[in-house]
Amino acid sequence: MSVSDVAGQAAVIVEDNGKGLPHQGRERLTEPYVTTRAKGTGLGLAIVKKIMEDHQGELVLEDGEPEGTRVKLIFAATETRMSDHPDSAGQPRELSTAGHGA
């Protein structure tokens, strides 16, 4: 796992050395109910893709080198500073534990 800059955007990159992406039907892997596993639901990658898109990000599936799979979660470039938040006054704030069972 690594964090990188991809075209000015933050990316979390996860790589493995497993059997890699299937050759047949790989363009459909992020569609709901598409799976290559006997007991899979086919929802995992579809949910991840939807969450990334909802946050102006992108899910990229690639072949690993020399084998395996590389997954990139590319997050939209945003610039947020503590001073942009009206309640911060440039200082960290305490988080309330109310309603969280504490």
Q: What is the mean pLDDT of each run of 10 residues along the chain (102 residues)?
A: 88 95 93 93 96 96 94 83 52 50 46
Q: How many other β-carbons are positioned within 10 Å of the β-carbon of residue 48?
A: 15
Task: Provide the whole-model pTM.
Answer: 0.70
Give the tokens for residue 11. 């990316």
pLDDT for the residue numbered 102? 44
Please state which CATH class domain 2-84 belongs to.
Answer: alpha beta
Identify the three-state secondary structure at position 46: helix
